[in-house]
Amino acid sequence: VEANGRAVFDSDGNATRLSGILQDVTDDYQIQQRKDEFISVASHELKTPITTLNASMQILQRLMKTDPTSDKVPMFINKANNNLNKLVRLLDDLLNVTRIQQGQLALNKTMFNLVDLIQDCTDHVRMNGEHEVILSGDNELMIYADYRRIDQVLVNLVNNAVKYAPQSKNIEIDISHTANFVTVSVRDHGIGINPDKLPHLFDRYYRVDALGHQFSGLGLGLYISSEIIGRHGGQIGVESQRGEGSRFWFTLPINEEEEV
Ligand code: ADP
In this structure, the residue with its CA closest to atom 8 of ligand 1 is 219
Mean pLDDT value of segment 70-89: 94
Q: What angle do CA 24, 30, 34 make, to 5 degrees?
A: 145
Instruction: Of 30-44, 111-125, 179-193, give the lowest mean pLDDT range.
Output: 30-44
CA 98 to chain centre: 15
- CA nearest to 131, candidates 174, 82, 173, 166: 166
User: What is the chain's mean pLDDT, rounded?
Assistant: 87
- CA nearest to 170, candidates 245, 250, 237, 114: 245
Distance 147 CA to ligand 1 centre (A): 23
Contact 242, 167 (CB under 8 A): no
- CA nearest to 137, candidates 179, 81, 176, 184: 176
Distance 16 CA to ligand 1 centre (A): 37
* Percent of the chain topping pLDDT 70: 87
Write down the pLDDT at residue 13. 54
Write down the pLDDT at residue 232. 96
Q: Model confidence over 43-77: pLDDT tens digits?
A: 989 999 999 999 999 999 999 999 999 999 999 99
In this structure, the residue with its CA closest to atom 13 of ligand 1 is 207
Best residue for ligand 1 mutational test, from 133, 160, 215 (most atoms within 8 Å of Cβ): 160
In this structure, the residue with its CA closest to atom 7 of ligand 1 is 221
Q: Model confidence over 8-46: pLDDT tens digits?
A: 455 555 555 444 455 567 778 877 887 888 888 889 899
Q: Which residue would you say has higher pLDDT here, 1 or 216?
A: 216
**Lining residues, ligand 1, CB within 6 Å:** 156, 160-161, 164, 188, 190-193, 201, 206-208, 217-223, 246
pTM: 0.82
Q: Model confidence over 131-141: pLDDT tens digits?
A: 889 999 998 99
Distance 218 CA to ligand 1 centre (A): 9
